[in-house]
Structure 1
Amino acid sequence: MRRRRFLAGSVGVAGLSGCAGSPPDGFDGGPTETYRNPVFERVFPDPSVVRAADGTFYAYGTEEDGERFRRVPIVESEDLVNWTRAGEAFESKPDWRDGAYLWAPDVVRMNGTYYLYYSYADWGDENPGIGVATGDDPAGPFTDRGKLFRGDEIGVENSIDPMVFLRDGAPYLFWGSRRGIYAIALRSDGLDTRGEKTRIAGDHYEGAYVVERGGRYYFFGSVGTCCEGMSSTYHVRAGRSDSLLGPYEGADGNDLREAKGPVVVEGGNGFVGPGHNAVVTDDAGDDWLLYHAYEEGEGYVEETPRRILMVDCIDWSDGWPTVEGKTPSRAARVPRID
């Protein structure tokens, strides 16, 4: 297992994967170091990320971790490339259902509080649901606030993979897997829905993530099989819209409710099945894709899929998000953290 994440100082960044361009005016220098993927080698699928007021980054993953079950494992980092364990989100399982796992969390800070939205589901679950918890400390523990909804209550099969987008402080929930991606407004306290749902993307997608850039909204969604070790076909595709609630289109103008958008990252360079991403911005304004992948030859820890944490810079040079070469990097320059 590799412990050292930075390459020797004599290694330059030329020829390595990373964002092009210079730091913005006023930024105090830039990094000369480089890092290697994966940035956290323990099992850490379906990552989300939030940055705390003190600048620390916290990432959250699905309950399974290959060593023991942690109730939403949490890792922290000051630079996005060196991650250490910070704890777990829950001291005990939420009690609004039994016999399920805590999958694919998303954390957002609003109303001066950290909100953790989570899937509560099992393999082959006919009626999974989404819950919400709150906490003052991003390192946990979080206090469960109960069920947001189950699939039969909202009219969406396979209601998992929540992601919350704040538009001018107002929260919107995106969710769904293989039965369409949907969005709905949340109440200002984040604890219930309001209004009607809108279909955003088709049955190809899961793991939705949305960002705003240059007055447009960009949708990221994972396509393919996530959890089959070296046979996994997971990869990330994108769409964009002038409106948060769509319609989202690919580069060819086709609606994501019927079509697949352009590839952001797919398997290659020694990694398989990259997907279920989050996006975070460094202090120079560069966007970074956090996602999981398999490393070739290391598909499982016992019976648990060994999906590891990866970080790559997003290149927006053609108006669409991609990582360099559309494959995970082995080595790249580190993010710029002031």
Structure 2
Amino acid sequence: MKNILLTFLAFLISLTTWSQEYRTDIPVHDPVMIKEGDTYYLFCTGPGIAFWSSPDMVQWKREKAVFTDPPTWANSVAADFKNHIWAPDITYHKGEYYMYYSVSSFAKNTSAIGLVKNKTLNPDSPDYKWEDQGIVVQSVPGRDLWNAIDPNLVFDDEGTPWFSYGSFWNGMKLVRLADDLKTVQNGPDDWYTISRRARTFELDDRNPGDGAVEAPFIFKKDDWYYLFVSFDYCCRGVNSTYKMVVGRSKDVTGPYLDRDGKSMFEGGGTLVLEGNENWHGVGHNSAYTFDGTDYLIFHGYDAKDNGRSKLLIREMDWDNEGWPIVTLEK
């Protein structure tokens, strides 16, 4: 009888662990995550950059936004953005946290990516202070065939910083940064287009078009750089069609090829995850390794809650050929 009770108790614990691992009750768009000490910190689109903390990726506490007031330069780029800051990216480098963020007018490439730094992410620390560094890269209608939003920083094997970003237009860009992680290098070998999709009409630098690709994120695993992007459309509640695809390359600058050998520059991409009857439009992911486990962090639109966008965290496995495996479940 004792063994039966112990087995039943273990079963109940396993159910609790499963439900906690996939808890999705906090509202987020475009989430990124990092760990400092024993605490996980989550940043996402929202007023002043929404900010959460957690001891276990299960129970989340809402923290004060990164920006109480808009960045001083932001209104000169997009006067209508109202301190609603999009799609941050967070990196720890040489004793400081670097957070990139997007300021934009919706569906326009009236956009810029800024940088803000901090020595710690712990709001209770005396060293906690966000210091804005201004604009990293800016796109201007009538000048640029790309959109300066959705930033992501990655270092290659030599320690060189590379910066990807983009949404619609003529695809995802990758640029080399200087050691200050802010200054964009402008030589011919410093700029690349790493993913794009065909449009059904002529390119127009004032129209995003229908080549729906955005949210690049580069994740290094073993000998490969994996480029994740989101295809199709977000931000439409239960009508969202977002899905995540991936390609990989031995070189951070590409070309990134999908499982069938098609370049992402030519519209390629192997499906990682798409929505189901419970979660619509899953996408805008980030990817990390915490304590030896790989995770995919993304948002999805909850069909059972009027299409509200919520946090989704899934463990990421790999098949025998080195391609990511992620299960959405229910």
Structure 1 CA distance, aligned partners of 2:10 and 2:70? 45
Give the root-mean-square deviation of aligned CA atoms: 2.2
Cα gap change, 1:9/1:142 in structure 2, threshold over 3 Å: closer, same or farther?
farther
Residue in 1 that maps onto 2:294: 287
- 1:237-248 aligned at under 5 Å gives the runs 237-248=245-256
Residue in 2 that maps onto 1:135: 118
Residue in 2 that maps onto 1:191: 182
Cα gap change, 1:262/1:12 in structure 2, threshold over 3 Å: closer, same or farther?
farther
Q: How many residues are aligned here? A: 290
Residue in 2 that maps onto 1:177: 167
- Alignment of 1:322 onto 2:316: no
Q: Which runs of 5+ in 1 are unaligned?
A: 1-7, 17-31, 64-69, 301-305, 331-338
- 1:242-321 aligned at under 5 Å gives the runs 242-268=250-276, 270-283=278-291, 285-299=292-306, 306-318=308-320, 319-321=322-324
Residue in 1 that maps onto 2:195: 201
Deviation string 1:90-134 (CA, Å, 9 cap, x unpaired) is 121112131223100001111211111011012133421111111
Aligned mate of 2:39, from 56, 60, 81: 56
Deviation string 1:216-235 (CA, Å, 9 cap, x unpaired) is 11011111110111111001
- SS of 1:212 mapped into structure 2: strand
Cα gap change, 1:60/1:156 in structure 2, threshold over 3 Å: closer, same or farther?
farther
- Alignment of 1:85 onto 2:67: no
Q: Which moves more between the two structures, 264-273 or 104-113?
A: 264-273
Cα gap change, 1:40/1:137 in structure 2, threshold over 3 Å: closer, same or farther?
farther
- SS of 1:107 mapped into structure 2: strand
- TM-score under structure 1 length normalisation: 0.80
Cα gap change, 1:76/1:40 in structure 2, threshold over 3 Å: closer, same or farther?
farther
Structure 1 CA distance, aligned partners of 2:33 and 2:20? 19
Residue in 2 that maps onto 1:225: 233
Residue in 1 that maps onto 2:6: none
Deviation string 1:292-336 (CA, Å, 9 cap, x unpaired) is 001113235xxxxx2100100112123211213xxx234xxxxxx
Residue in 1 that maps onto 2:154: 165
Structure 2 CA distance, aligned partners of 1:46 and 1:156? 23
Question: Aligned partner of 1:209: which letter?
Answer: F
- SS of 2:264 mapped into structure 1: coil
- 1:80-119 aligned at under 5 Å gives the runs 80-98=57-75, 99=79, 100=81, 101-119=84-102
Q: Indicate conservation of the 8 Å contact 1:86/1:139, yes or no.
A: no
Q: Indicate conservation of the 8 Å contact 2:21/2:57, yes or no.
A: no
Question: Aligned partner of 1:309: which letter?
Answer: L
Q: Which runs of 5+ in 2 are unaligned?
A: 1-8, 124-128, 198-211
CA drift of 1:152 comes to 3.3
Aligned mate of 1:46, from 5, 22, 30: 30
Deviation string 1:15-68 (CA, Å, 9 cap, x unpaired) is x9xxxxxxxxxxxxxxx932357534232100011121x1321110001xxxxx
Q: Percent identity?
A: 29
- TM-score under structure 2 length normalisation: 0.82
* Structure that is richer in helix per residue: 2
Structure 1 CA distance, aligned partners of 2:108 and 2:10? 50
Cα gap change, 1:105/1:112 in structure 2, threshold over 3 Å: closer, same or farther?
same
Structure 2 CA distance, aligned partners of 1:86 and 1:240? 36
Structure 2 CA distance, aligned partners of 1:9 and 1:174? 45
Q: Indicate conservation of the 8 Å contact 2:22/2:314, yes or no.
A: no
CA drift of 1:12 comes to 7.1
Q: Indicate conservation of the 8 Å contact 1:126/1:158, yes or no.
A: yes
Cα gap change, 1:123/1:299 in structure 2, threshold over 3 Å: closer, same or farther?
farther
Structure 1 CA distance, aligned partners of 2:281 and 2:154? 25
Point out the structure with max Rg over C-alpha.
2
Aligned mate of 1:150, from 138, 157, 166: 138
Structure 2 CA distance, aligned partners of 1:268 and 1:295? 10
Structure 2 CA distance, aligned partners of 1:169 and 1:35? 39
Deviation string 1:241-265 (CA, Å, 9 cap, x unpaired) is 1100100001000000112311111
